[in-house]
A and B are shown apart, each in its own frame.
Chain A
Amino acid sequence: ETGVTQSPTHLIKTRGQQVTLRCSSQSGHNTVSWYQQALGQGPQFIFQYYREEENGRGNFPPRFSGLQFPNYSSELNVNALELDDSALYLCASSSGTVRNTGELFFGEGSRLTVL
């Protein structure tokens, strides 16, 4: 089975710009969660999409937004980039049965540097 894939793997932006990160979920998974991992920190939950609808959001401002498509792939968009947005952005997919197990499958991440 195909795992979670993310693109791009690395990118550099300047403050004030906008960025779009993409994620293809693992085959058979209908839920995608996004996490931000700052250097030296644990991942922090940004939001989750389930069947194309937002299903919970962490403590992130509205300039962080997302989409999920009918094939369950997902995008994370960040507007008005700030220096503190520099981080590894992780996408994780899961199936409906995660309600019982909570298990996530992570991609390798997109490393964003904001200058």
Chain B
Amino acid sequence: AQSVTQLGSHVSVSEGALVLLRCNYSSSVPPYLFWYVQYPNQGLQLLLKYTSAATLVKGINGFEAEFKKSETSFHLTKPSAHMSDAAEYFCAVSPPGNTGKLIFGQGTTLQVKP
């Protein structure tokens, strides 16, 4: 069975500081991995995805994530936080060929302080 663990339900950074949101997965087959962002009272928006191509994945809004098989991790980073990055972030896993049946982590709330 697949699962996702997001370490830290709340992360607080200062504007301009590095953002690091942690995600570890468990999967018996090579997974597809995703990061989604959810702004208040909105649906989920895809930030980036790993689908077995390059291990360093670049997404929208300056975010990137690196797939590390040895660590079963897919941490999300951004070099410099912006106030508009404050939101809920979800890591999700899906086995290849599994259409749309994502397993999500519990989410991490990112707070950006001025």
Partners in one complex: yes
Interface of A toward B, CB cutoff 8 Å = 4, 31, 33, 35, 40-45, 48, 50, 55-56, 58, 90, 92, 94, 96, 98-109
Q: B44 at the A/B interface (Cβ < 8 Å)?
A: yes
- A107-B43 in contact (CB<8A): yes
Given contacts A102-B32, A102-B94, A104-B102, 10 further A-B pairs with CB under 8 A are: A40-B107, A41-B106, A42-B104, A43-B44, A43-B104, A94-B99, A99-B97, A101-B49, A108-B42, A108-B43
Chain A residues within an 8 Å CB radius of B34: 102-103
Known: A31-B99, A101-B51, A102-B94. A44 touches B46 (CB 8 A): no
Q: Dominant SS at the A interface?
A: mixed
Q: Closest Cβ of chain B: how far from A26's Cβ, in Å?
A: 12
Please tell me the number of chain B residues within 8 Å of chain A, measured between CB atoms: 27
Give B43-54 as 1s and 0s: 1 = Cβ < 8 Å from A's Cβ atoms. Answer: 111100101000
Which residue of chain B lies nearest to A33 when distances are taken between CB atoms in the complex?
B100
Give B88-111 as 1s and 0s: 1 = Cβ < 8 Å from A's Cβ atoms. Answer: 001010101111111111110000
CA–CA, A106 and B92, complex, Å: 14
- B90-A103 in contact (CB<8A): no
Q: Closest Cβ of chain A: how far from B38's Cβ, in Å?
A: 9
Known: A48-B100, A94-B99, A102-B100. A41 touches B107 (CB 8 A): yes
Known: A42-B107, A43-B90. A102 touches B42 (CB 8 A): no
